Structure 1
Amino acid sequence: MLKTRYVVASIGLLIVIFVAVMFFLPNFQIDKATKGNTYIESVFDQSKVTNVEITVADEDLASILENPSQKEIVNADVTIDGETVKNVGFRTKGNLSLNSVVQMEDSDRYSWKIDFDHYQEDQDLHGLKKLALNNNYSDPTYMREYLSYTLMEKMGIATPGHSYMYVTINGKEWGLYLGVEAIEETFLDTNFSDGTGDLYYPDGTGSDLKWISDDIDDYTGINLKTNDNSDQSAMIKMLDVINHGGDLEEVLNVDEMLRYFAANTALVNLDHYQGMLKHNYYLYEENGIFSILPWDYNMSFGGFSGGGGGGPNGNKETEKGQDAENSDAKPKLPDAAPNINGGAPVGDMSANFMGESTINFSITDPVMGTTLEDRPLLNALLSNEEYREKYYQYLNDIATDYFSEENMTAMTEEITSLITPYVEKDPTKFYTMDEYIEATSGEETLVDFSTQRADSILAQLSGDLVVEAETQNGMGGPPNMGGDENGAAMQPPNMGDGENGAAMQPPNMGDGENGAAMQPPNMGDGENGAAMQPPNMGDGENGAAMEPPGMKGKMDAQGGGTSNYSKETIILSSVLVLLLFGAITFAHYFKRRGRNG
């Protein structure tokens, strides 16, 4: 017979273990098996160009090429750097770029999508379920999308894996593509603490996020991509708050969205929510909090600016009191897609990316072909003074760090060194080799765009440059932000003027020594000129982008608190509670038996 003191000691030990586990559990993530995915390192190795070999039945390939717009899915085998996955789904992808290539008589350079799990639900490649192969349409540098995703990573935004890939189909070289991880369940599981929330890809009615009604069926363009049985009540609540007022932090990962929109504005990425087409972004809801996710950046760096002398939103610039020049240029869709190896294409949307109005795209009214009031998500954020100040600070960080000439030169030279041999042998490229060389090392490069854009951002922050946006209602500046009597865009609050007209640093930023660009608060210097981490973000291991608020780690959706318990944590806690309850019941029963004996 066990002695009572042993039973009491055992129960006491169980209680101590229970309390200890419950106290420390929030600091340890219990990863599901799928969280051990290694595809970021193995599939998206950015130190090299990955070989992708696709094998498909000749008749299936012919069917795709005859009717590419139908996005017919066919069975294929895919070999990536020597590792083969059989029986995968293969199809064309895209909208504008797809239709543009369809119009071309001499090119089949479509973007492609590979679904490793289309025919076999449990099939993947090191955890990767879906892979997009983007054709670098309208980008003679091959770099716009890559550099944009890199900036998003540096800003702490959940960003899909991406790297350069050289594609062959049935032994025929198709050329240099950018491989991008599809945003779906695997991406969510890899990047967020839970990963089982509602994912949306807005495109169509309701994608501007304007209030229609409290019936989710009226938002036909919201496009729920996961959890088919969700009542989407969190979406309705979010739409209500951003349109009608309320606590944004109850429905939005505010700081993450400010970083996202600062990066998107700096990049002048207007084939997006901030443009007239109001698409190319994802929304992800977890525990009632929405994050925004980046997608499709081949027309960033002013690539959607169209032609002519005007800018992407018909901005008027006034500098130090000078008269503004009117510009009514509107973004143009290409009248003809780029001609394969045929010189600068007619209607090429990237051709005017260095236009004055593109470089000086407004940071206070950062929309094109619409108004802030018609983009309520961005409007709600910029109408709040505290949030607007943070947004300006993030823009300053980008201008003084990521867009610095030293940083951009180093990155573009590294990429050029990597991809140039593959561009040379690319048989389907949209631009000639001379045009590629001119775009990457000529008089107007992405480095030139970035440095001039950085100067413009700093000038707008200081007040030396005022940009009036000619929007639908003719108002300058976000609502409730004020403005001058002529409707000019309002100056960022409390920014003041820099000495001698120099671009001023945001509040509490200080001056760098000898006129050098000052470091933002708590930012530190990246090693060897590497891009710095955003404030209070910390450094990822080996220079990897650190985990943003609300993602897997120890930060919640608001950025800084303890993470929400995952389902695994809840299950384990429940088991521990049951064990403790059982132990107490046993002790009570044992004690009664002892008395009765």
Structure 2
Amino acid sequence: MLPRRIAHRIPVRVRHYWKLLATCAATLLAFAVVFSTVRVAPLVTSASDESGDEVSVNIAGTTDLFDATRAHTIKITYRTEAYEELLDSFWKDGEKEYLEADLTIDGTTVPSVGIRLKGNSTLQGITRDGEARQGGFGGGRGAMPQGAMPQGGLPEGGGGFRMGGGGGRTSLKTEEPETLPWLIRFDEFVEGRRYQGHREIAVRVGGMGGGAAVLNEAVSLNVLAAAGEVTQRYAYTSFTVNDRPATARLIVEHPDENFADAIGGNGVLYKSMASSQFTDQGDDPTEYADDFKQINKKGSQDLQPVIDLIRWVNTAGDAEFDEHLDEHVDVASFARYAAIQNLLVNFDDMAGPGRNYYLWYDLDAKRFSVVGWDYNLTLSGSATQDPAESVSMGGGGMRGGGGDFQPPEGMELPQGGQMPQGGQMPGGGRGGFGGHKLKERFLASAAYKDTYRKAYKELFNKIYGNASALNALDAITEVIGTVDGANAESTATDAENLRTLIRERTQFLVTNEIITG
């Protein structure tokens, strides 16, 4: 019993029900002890096809943002102090936090959007006041981090290799925010807001195979759309940050809920993360958090179809794989995907170091399709890449490639760093680093050889036939010439380099038996 003096200080209502309150407290304590050691896995039991995201504001703007036939304008304004705080967080912890900014697109002002730095290896070379971030390799174009490559290889951007299509990586400095890779998010600070249906857009960084204007990615997106393939839209824009000089930048549709809706049909979109290994990690969905991210229909669908696919691909025998693959994957669609990556010499696809792809799960057909993404390393490798071989960095993906990995021109290993034994990089894969079980098994299967060859020939005619890629390059270059901040000299040089590679690729393939046959 409490002393009377203390008891009278407790409210009467509490004194009347102290036994019930004590029982509840004891029960909560017991739950805390029992369940503190139990993992709770999130489960979705609903079969609904509804999306968990609601749109409250959709800004129409004045011009279609991704009208690639015209020049656009984007102006960003933010507080300098907030930008420095963003950099402090990234420099200290590697966190890419959102900065609140005001945005004007083609004359339409959108206040309080979120912008953050985008990319992984892309940002390894960034400098601040001339100093690289700890763990980065700023200041040395083409340098690799000390020691070894990160597990899973080089994520988005390719790691600073000097490629054959248009020069090496553009130097990134925090003092020049107009040159940095950004992700713009319209609903980060205003819930439910979209711009022409888009939640996010990506501002691509210059350099690598397409030079400062990223011509290779724009050309790839152009010819893929013309060929009727699912891909992202793009456009060129002048890009101004505060009172800094304007630059010409490539913006690309970011695969969000709006992109998922544009695919058509009833399905779920999953993004492969750069750290994805496509290996069976058990039944707990949380174990796959570093492998895949669900984009749409959150709360009504879950990751289980992806887990089932991973498990089947990794455990099915060859005979079962050949006989039942079409029950799990849209084979015709996947043949086109694999053919496209080879035609465009893209060594950073689903089997590349960045694991750049999305999975689309058709809820009606109960099958997957692979959607390509991040084409900034296309048309950068060897024009004589064999159509029958998987493109990989070190396995024909480099200009003059083939065989073991050879450091490209301009690439230097820092003191203490060394190439892995035999030139092979972490992650496996045939002839280089990376690799993907689904793609490897498909290309190795005799059962799907004819399907792949048929898709390859059809897509060759659409991409390179009748000078399609060359015409796309000319049209894109003409648009860039109208963009405020474009460098006419560098654009002309990059275009000529890319034009040479496209011609060499076309001439090599046109005599191949897959095309002639």
Give 2:253's aligned residue: 181
* 2:235 corresponds to 1:163: yes
* 2:439 corresponds to 1:369: no
Give 2:340's aligned residue: 263
Identity score, percent: 23
Runs (5+) with no aligned partner, structure 1: 1-31, 317-323, 338-365, 463-494, 496-503, 507-597
Give 1:437's aligned residue: 492
Instruction: Kindly state the Cα deviation for residue 219 of structure 1 after the two structures are TM-superposed.
Output: 3.6
Runs (5+) with no aligned partner, structure 2: 1-53, 128-137, 140-170, 384-390, 414-428
Instruction: Kindly state the Cα deviation for residue 396 of structure 1 after the two structures are TM-superposed.
Output: 2.0
Matches within 5 A, 1:65-104: 65=87, 69-102=94-127, 103-104=138-139
Match of 1:450 among 484, 491, 502: 502
What number of residue pairs does the alignment pair up?
A: 379
Contact persistence 2:77–2:101 (CA under 8 A):
yes
Contact persistence 2:63–2:106 (CA under 8 A):
no
Instruction: Kindly state the Cα deviation for residue 409 of structure 1 after the two structures are TM-superposed.
Output: 2.8
Contact persistence 2:394–2:401 (CA under 8 A):
no
Partner-residue secondary structure (3-state), 2:124? helix
Instruction: Kindly state the Cα deviation for residue 455 of structure 1 after the two structures are TM-superposed.
Output: 3.3
Give 1:406's aligned residue: 467
TM-score by length of 1: 0.56
User: Per-residue CA shift, 1:464-507, capped at 9, x if unaligned?
Assistant: xxxxxxxxxxxxxxxxxxxxxxxxxxxxxxx6xxxxxxxx523x
Per the alignment, do residues 293 and 390 of structure 1 end up closer, same or farther by CA in structure 2, a change over 3 Å counting? Answer: same
Distance in 1 separating the partners of 2:247 and 2:282:
47
Contact persistence 1:314–1:330 (CA under 8 A):
no
Partner-residue secondary structure (3-state), 1:173? coil
Instruction: Kindly state the Cα deviation for residue 67 of structure 1 after the two structures are TM-superposed.
Output: 5.3
Matches within 5 A, 1:410-559: 410-422=471-483, 425-426=485-486, 434-441=489-496, 445-459=497-511, 461-462=512-513, 505-506=516-517
Match of 1:302 among 380, 384, 392: 380
Give 1:378's aligned residue: 439
Contact persistence 2:233–2:253 (CA under 8 A):
yes
Per the alignment, do residues 255 and 110 of structure 1 end up closer, same or farther by CA in structure 2, a change over 3 Å counting? Answer: same
Match of 1:124 among 176, 185, 194: 194
Matches within 5 A, 1:31-110: 42-65=64-87, 69-102=94-127, 103-104=138-139, 107=173, 108=176, 109-110=179-180
Per the alignment, do residues 399 and 189 of structure 1 end up closer, same or farther by CA in structure 2, a change over 3 Å counting? Answer: closer
Give 1:272's aligned residue: 349
Instruction: Kindly state the Cα deviation for residue 218 of structure 1 after the two structures are TM-superposed.
Output: 4.1
Per the alignment, do residues 61 and 304 of structure 1 end up closer, same or farther by CA in structure 2, a change over 3 Å counting? Answer: farther
Distance in 2 separating the partners of 1:198 and 1:407:
30
Matches within 5 A, 1:229-378: 230-243=301-314, 244=316, 245-246=320-321, 247-275=324-352, 277-287=353-363, 288-302=366-380, 312-315=393-396, 327-330=403-406, 335=411, 368-370=431-433, 374-378=435-439
Contact persistence 1:269–1:297 (CA under 8 A):
yes
RMSD over equivalenced CA pairs, Å? 3.6
Moved over 6 A (4+): 36-41
Distance in 2 separating the partners of 1:153 and 1:326:
30
Contact persistence 1:312–1:331 (CA under 8 A):
no
Q: Which has the higher contact order (CA 8 A, sep 6+)?
A: 2
Instruction: Kindly state the Cα deviation for residue 61 of structure 1 after the two structures are TM-superposed.
Output: 2.5
Distance in 2 separating the partners of 1:326 and 1:378:
19
* 2:294 corresponds to 1:225: yes
Distance in 1 separating the partners of 2:409 and 2:85:
28
Instruction: Kindly state the Cα deviation for residue 263 of structure 1 after the two structures are TM-superposed.
Output: 0.9
Per the alignment, do residues 125 and 86 of structure 1 end up closer, same or farther by CA in structure 2, a change over 3 Å counting? Answer: same
Instruction: Kindly state the Cα deviation for residue 456 of structure 1 after the two structures are TM-superposed.
Output: 3.0
User: Per-residue CA shift, 1:188-225, capped at 9, x if unaligned?
Assistant: 12222235x25232321xx3424454554444532223
* 2:443 corresponds to 1:391: no
Per the alignment, do residues 382 and 439 of structure 1 end up closer, same or farther by CA in structure 2, a change over 3 Å counting? Answer: same
Contact persistence 1:51–1:80 (CA under 8 A):
yes
Distance in 1 separating the partners of 2:241 and 2:377:
26
Contact persistence 1:93–1:113 (CA under 8 A):
yes
